Amino acid sequence: MTFKDIAEARRYISLHSFANDYNLTIKKSDRKRLRVVCKDKCSFVCLISDDKHVAGVRVKTLKGEHNKCKDPCGNYKVSATTIAFYVKEKLQANPKYKIKGNES
């Protein structure tokens, strides 16, 4: 999976996190790298960085399962579509929409 740049990757991660009710945290973010982890007990890790073979940035590491961060019986999927649609509308209306995370 590739993104135009780190900013786009961050937007995607934020939307993905919000829509699926994951508690993702941006551990490190600069112009070339983005490292995202889930809550402490969850083993999910995602590392995105620039790639000389493609334009933009690419997902380098994506591992772990979201096995400890939410109730598997929850009906989060029902609302996820609605939320994702809402966020997408918001992003389109305002491309500079701020997402959570530490600026560096």
Residues 6+ apart with CB under 8 A from 86: none
Dump strand ranges (E) for 51-88. Answer: 57-63
Write out the binding residues for Zn ion, residues 41-100 only, by CB under 5 A.
42, 44, 66, 69
Give 9 or 38: the residue with its C-beta nearer to Zn ion. 38
Sole binder of Zn ion in the list 6, 9, 26, 38 (CB under 5 A)? 38
Window contacting Zn ion (CB under 5 A); options: 10-18, 31-39, 50-58, 83-91: 31-39
Checking DSSP bridges between strand 25-29 and strand 45-50, what pairing results, if any? unpaired
Residue 3: phi and psi, rounded to 5, are -135, 160
Task: List residues near Zn ion by CB under 5 A.
Answer: 38, 42, 44, 66, 69
